[in-house]
Structure formats: structure tokens, C-alpha cells
Amino acid sequence: MKRVDILKKLANCGVIAVVRGDSAQQAIKASEAIVAGGMKGIELTFTVPNAQEAIRTLAEKYADDEEVVIGAGTVLDATTARLAIMAGAAFIVSPCFDIETAKICNLYQIPYLPGCMTINEMKEALKAGSDIVKLFPGSAFGPKIVGAFKAPLPQLNIMPTGGVSLENMADWFKAGVIAVGVGGNLLAPLKNEDYPAITKVAEQYMAKLQEIREG
């Protein structure tokens, strides 16, 4: 089943890279550098010019790689979601919950990860079929909030994005999240187009993830 397979891949990835860039080409190169570092989950945001073309390029490039999963981020509406899905996006991420986006994702059996900040938003997302809720921005809460949200909603799968770092990643997983989204510090070298440095940071995140999972 397509959706279940994609969700398993996302859980296996553990760390999802949130990729932004000044051009589609820059975002593609950054994504390739991240995958080279062992990080297999890519959320390419629609703040990137011609994002759907970048998604199409990456989806085609990694079509035969069982572990790599390419999705779209900063998807604000159903129209954008459909564009991304047609370009090959395997999952859709929004900064906020949108019911019409949830419906189009359900239609195509694509996981929808909406950004939520409150119990009410999370409940609505679950009712609309969201399997993973993006806690955004994570920096506004910290890892301790996960237990508070999961107390009334133990079935909730949470992926914090914003404020996740190498230093606090273990705390997030210890709190019970299914995956984390990372962007800012992972892509800091992009301002100098230093792609080998991005690969190195990706390697550090994956080493930390392995350490957490073995711990």
C-alpha cells in the first residue's frame, strides 16, 4: 500500500531535511549533498523558485533508491499539493493545517504532514487522515511538550521542525517523536554554496541518529 510504504520510509529516515534555496538548481544541489551524507528524507519547500521542477528532477534521479523519499514543503493549498504530487512528491508538508490539502493528499494516497501548535489543530488533522503531525515551530515549545500532547492523544505521531539541532535531537526522540525536521543549521553552508560542508553536517546528523537508536 503506497501510503503505508511512504510512512515507513519517513519513520526509517528519522531526520527529514527541510531544503530551501534561491533557485531550483541550488535546492537540487543541496538535496544531492544531503543524500550523499546519508540523510534520505528531503522536504523541498515551495519557497524555492520552480519548486515543482526541482522535485521532479530529484524524484526521477532517486526513483530506484528504495530509501530516498522526496517530498514537498511549505504547501499552503490543495492546488500546490496537486502540483507537487504530479511532480513526484511522496509526501506533503504544510506550515499549518488545511482541510482541502488533506483531501487531495488522501485522494492520491500521499501522506500529509500539517504544521500544528495546539491540541485542537492536532485533533482536526487526525480526523482528516494525517498520520504524522508536524509540531511547528518546535523552538516555541521544546521536547517536554511532546508528552503533554501525547497524554490525551497517545496515537499521535509528532515530527518537530524548527529548533531541532544536533545538541537537542536526542531529547526530542526521548520525548517520543517519530522523526525530526531540520533545516537552518543543516543548510547554513548554502550561503557560500559549500555543498561538501552540507554533506558533512548531514553525516553528523545521521551519526547522531544512529547513536540515539542504538542507545
HSE toward the beta carbon, residue 155, CA cutoff 13 A: 8
Q: Please say whether the beta carbons of 209 and 167 come within 8 A.
A: no
Which residue, 16, 166, 173, 31, is CA-closest to 93?
16
Which residue, 180, 176, 192, is CA-closest to 136?
180
Pairing of strands 15-19, 41-45: parallel
Spatial separation of the C-alpha atoms in residues 147 and 45, rounded to whole Å: 29
Query: Which set of grid coordinates corresponds to residue 99?
Result: 482541510
Spatial separation of the C-alpha atoms in residues 189 and 128, rounded to whole Å: 38
Q: How far is CA 45 from each of CA 48, 81, 97, rounded to the nearest angstrom?
A: 6, 11, 16
Residue the block writes with cell 544531503 = 34
Residue 19 sits at φ, ψ, to 5 deg, of -100, 120
HSE toward the beta carbon, residue 35, CA cutoff 13 A: 21
Residues annotated as catalytic are: 43, 134
